[in-house]
Amino acid sequence: MLTIGTRGSTLSLAQAHWVAEKLLALHPDVQMKIKIIHTSADKDPASSIRSGTATGVFVKEIEEVLQSSGIDLAVHSMKDLPTRIPDALEFGAIPQREDARDALIGGAGVHRLDDLPPGAVIGTGSVRRQAQILALRPDVRPEDIRGNVQTRLRKLAAGSYDAVILACAGLNRLGLQDRIGVRLELAQMLPAPGQGALALEVRKGDSRVTAMVAGLNDPLTATAVLAERAFLRRMGGGCNSPIAVHARPLDGKVLIEGLVANPDGTRLLRDSAVCPPASAVAAADALADKLLSAGGAEILRSLR
C-alpha cells in the first residue's frame, strides 16, 4: 500500500491521480490510496495568501502529515512549495514538466494580448503576472481574482472580467486546453519558479518509497526547477512576489532567465545566464545577485 497525500482541489486530485497511475504502471503489485489533506489555504481562503510574505499555505499541513507517517508520499505543485522544505523531507522525484507558460483566456476573438481593448479588466491573483501584463499593456486593469480554475472560468463567463490569466499546465491537466486563447510566450511573461512541475516529496531515509518513485524523476526538469528555486531563494521573495524565473535546456547547457519588477510594471529588470547543467544552481544564484545589484533589491525593499 502506498498512501499519497494531496490537497482536495480538482487540480490537486488530478495531479495525484496522474502520479498514482504512473506509479501503478511501474509497480503493478502496489495498491495506491489517495488521502485528501486540508491546508491553511483551504481552511482560510480569505487569508493573505497573496501577501508576498506568506509561505507554505498550500503545503504545511501535508508536510506535517508526511513527517508523522500519516501518508507515504506528498504530491505538490512545485510552485506552491517554499524555497526551503523541512529537514526531515526531500524530493523523491520531479517528473517531466508540463507547459510552464501562462495562458490568457478571454472572449471570442482574443487570440493575442493586443486583442484586448484598452481598459480591459484582467483577473489575476498574482503580483508577478500583474507586473508583467502592465509592462506590456499599461492600459489594461488587473484585478484580484480568487478561487480554483473552474471558479475563475465561471467568473469570466459571468462577465466579471474581460480576461483571466491561468497556468497552461493546470488547464492541460484538467483537460481544459481548448479554453486557452493565448499562450503567453516566455519573452512576454516569465512564469513563477517551478511552474508546470510537480514535486514528489518523501521522508528522508524512506528507501521503500524513494525507490518506488525514482522512476518518475526527469533529470532535465529537476535541474531546471532546482535552479529556479535557488534563484527565488537568493532573491528573498515570498510566494507572491513580483519575481519570475524560468530555466530550460539549450544545446546541452541550461538557459536561465530571471526577472523582478514593480507591481505596476513601470520598472522591470530582466537578465539571463547560460551554464553547464552541473552549475545551474550556482548560475541562478549569480543571476539573482546581478538583478539585485541592478536595482532589484531596491524594488523588493519597497514592497516590505
Active-site positions read 80
242: closest CA among 214, 215, 261?
261
C-alpha cell at 275: 551554464
Question: Which residue stretches of the chain are H helix?
Answer: 10-26, 40-43, 60-67, 127-136, 149-157, 168-173, 207-213, 219-235, 280-291, 297-303
DSSP E strand stretches across 61-205: 73-77, 89-93, 102-106, 121-123, 141-143, 163-167, 182-184, 198-203
User: What three-state secondary structure class fits 218?
Assistant: coil
C-alpha cell at 51: 501577501
Cα 240 from Cα 244, distance rounded (Å):
10
φ/ψ of 88, rounded to 5, equals -80, -5
Helix, strand, coil in percent for the chain, rounding step 5: 40, 25, 40
Q: Which residue has the cell 509561505?
A: 55
φ/ψ of 152, rounded to 5, equals -65, -40
Cα 225 from Cα 277, distance rounded (Å):
12
Q: Which long-range contacts link 51-54 to residues 24+ away (Cβ below 8 Å)?
A: 51/238, 51/240, 52/127, 52/237, 52/238, 52/239, 52/240, 52/241, 52/303, 53/238, 53/304, 54/238, 54/239, 54/240
Q: If 0-12 CB within 10 Å is exposed, 13-18 middle and 19+ buried, where does residue 243 land?
A: buried
